[in-house]
Amino acid sequence: MSVFIIRRLLQSLGVIFVMSMIVFFGVNVVGNPVDILASDDMTQEQIQAFVARLGLDRPIYEQYWYFVLNALRGDLGNSFVFAEPALKLILQRLPATLELALASMFLSVVIGIPLGIYAGLRPEARSSKVIMASSILGFSLPTFWVGLMFIMVFAVMLGWLPSTGRGDTTELLGIQVSFLTWDGLQHLLLPAINLALFKMSLVIRLARAGTREVALQDYVKFARAKGLSARRVVLVHIMKNIMIPVVTVLGLELGGVIAFSVVTETVFAWPGIGKLLIDSIQLLDRPVVVAYLIITVLMFILINLVVDILYSVLDPRVRLKDVKS
């Protein structure tokens, strides 16, 4: 197991290295940050001094070299815009994104799994067909459009829920969270549902497919032949088996949710890293973009590791293979 983890981490380092290079040079090609950052009334000298301060007068490979040296010391550079360490900017906003991502994961699991199992147990029922049709909608409607509709209906027309920001936050273990205050919870609801819809549809489909397959297995019939209640057969014998694919896919999706909460964060002005990324790309704030991507890749790797470990907890057959290898 530990060999496996170390190999994983080494691979990830390679990925981070290659990716930082692509982003570093890529952003450079897209445009010159000086054009955006320098204001019109600056003199030529002022601009030169500004450029020199940011280190942008050096050749690009030299800039990259200094970037790598600094990065190894945990310094991902200062934001051109905020003149603050890029890493700090990201870590400040990470809790908001994590909260949104976890809330939407939570919603997609607690709503998606029961609906999926129900539809899998009664594939012919009308209610199951409604569930499956809705899940197709959840898949195919674009997130930003659904988000805008949510705002229009629930915030503008009905006025039930707020449409922007995080609302009141409280501190939990040194991190600011919204879900513990009533106001924060209200702010969280719409973006979380918006971000959850796609995942929920995925969970419904996975849970339904899994249930249909598992329900036909001999071991489920045998469980019934033992005289177990329908409840126990479904909640233990069927559910434990369908959780394996659900956890795998959801775990991998969690990375995606964090990385691509960009759309939802932009629509609902949610102050997370997704919104920071969009702003930084527009301003060609290279250090922040690079730092964002590095942090995201790190999170992906971490999450995948956790998923693998969870997977072996859920499926005893995987555990055996590990012992052998």
Number of residues binding to other proteins, judged by CB under 8 A: 25
Q: Which residue stretch of 24-32, 169-177, 225-233, 254-262 sits at the interface with other proteins (rule: CB under 8 A)?
A: 225-233
Of 303, 297, 108, the residue nearest 195 (C-alpha): 108
Intra-chain end-to-end CA distance of the chain, in Å: 9
Q: Does 283 bind other proteins (CB under 8 A)?
A: no
Binding-residue pattern over the window 149 to 178 for other proteins, x denoting contact by CB under 8 A? ------------------------------
Q: Does 129 bind other proteins (CB under 8 A)?
A: no
Long-range contacts of 155-163 (CB under 8 A, 24+ apart): 155/190, 161/186, 161/187, 161/189, 161/190, 162/186, 162/187, 162/190, 163/190, 163/268
Q: Does 40 bind other proteins (CB under 8 A)?
A: no
Q: Does 314 bind other proteins (CB under 8 A)?
A: yes
Q: Does 219 bind other proteins (CB under 8 A)?
A: yes
Q: Does 310 bind other proteins (CB under 8 A)?
A: no
In the set 93, 166, 237, 286, which binds other proteins (CB under 8 A)?
237
Q: Report, in Å, the least distance between residue 297 CB and other proteins.
A: 32
In the set 228, 249, 302, 305, which binds other proteins (CB under 8 A)?
228
Q: Which residue stretch of 68-76, 108-116, 249-257, 310-318 sits at the interface with other proteins (rule: CB under 8 A)?
A: 310-318
* Surface-to-core class of residue 138, CB atoms within 10 Å of its CB (0-12 exposed, 13-18 middle, 19+ buried): buried
CA 16, 17, 20, 23 dihedral sign is: negative
Q: Measure the CA–CA gap between 199 and 109, rounded to whole angstroms.
A: 8
Q: Report, in Å, the least distance between residue 83 CB and other proteins.
A: 54
Q: Which residue stretch of 7-15, 26-34, 79-87, 229-237 sits at the interface with other proteins (rule: CB under 8 A)?
A: 229-237
Question: Which residues partner with 177 through β-bridges?
Answer: 170
DSSP single-letter state for residue 167: -
Q: Measure the CA–CA gap between 12 and 160, rounded to whole angstroms.
A: 45
Q: Does 218 bind other proteins (CB under 8 A)?
A: yes
Of 198, 213, 238, 237, the residue nearest 123 (C-alpha): 213
Residues that bind other proteins (CB under 8 A): 217-230, 232, 236-237, 240-241, 244, 314-317, 320
